[in-house]
Amino acid sequence: MNKNDLISDRILIILASVNAPLETKEIEAKLSEKIKEGITRTKVFYRLNILRGDGKLKGKFVGPGKGVWIWWRNNAFEK
């Protein structure tokens, strides 16, 4: 398994374990606890966008200026 797959897998696990959307920096912090080296916000954001494009999670840009991205699992708001 290469590191990019590990990052993507961990992102999906993190989002599956929470009941609220997370910001990119929150996901990065949780990944840094599990994967000790090579985790940057740029890498995390890249992997999040790839996963969003593949339909494995949802994401939305919020806030003015540079703003913030929030991310959640596909079925997070279904009843």
On whether residue 38 sits in a domain, the answer given is yes
On whether residue 44 sits in a domain, the answer given is yes
Please provide residue 67's backbone torsions phi and psi, each rounded to the nearest 5 degrees. Answer: 65, -170
The CATH number assigned to the domain holding 7 equals 1.10.10.10
On whether residue 78 sits in a domain, the answer given is no
The domain in which residue 60 lies consists of 3-73
The whole-number average pLDDT for the span 14-31 is 94
pLDDT tens digits, 27-68: 999 999 988 788 899 999 999 999 999 999 999 999 887 789
* Confidence check: pLDDT of 20 > 80: yes
| Domain count of the fold of the chain | 1
pLDDT of residue 37: 84
Q: Collapse the DSSP code of 2 into the 3-class scheme (helix H, G, I; strand E, B; otherwise coil) and give the result.
A: coil
* Confidence check: pLDDT of 5 > 60: yes
On whether residue 32 sits in a domain, the answer given is yes
CA 61/CA 29 separation, integer angstroms: 19
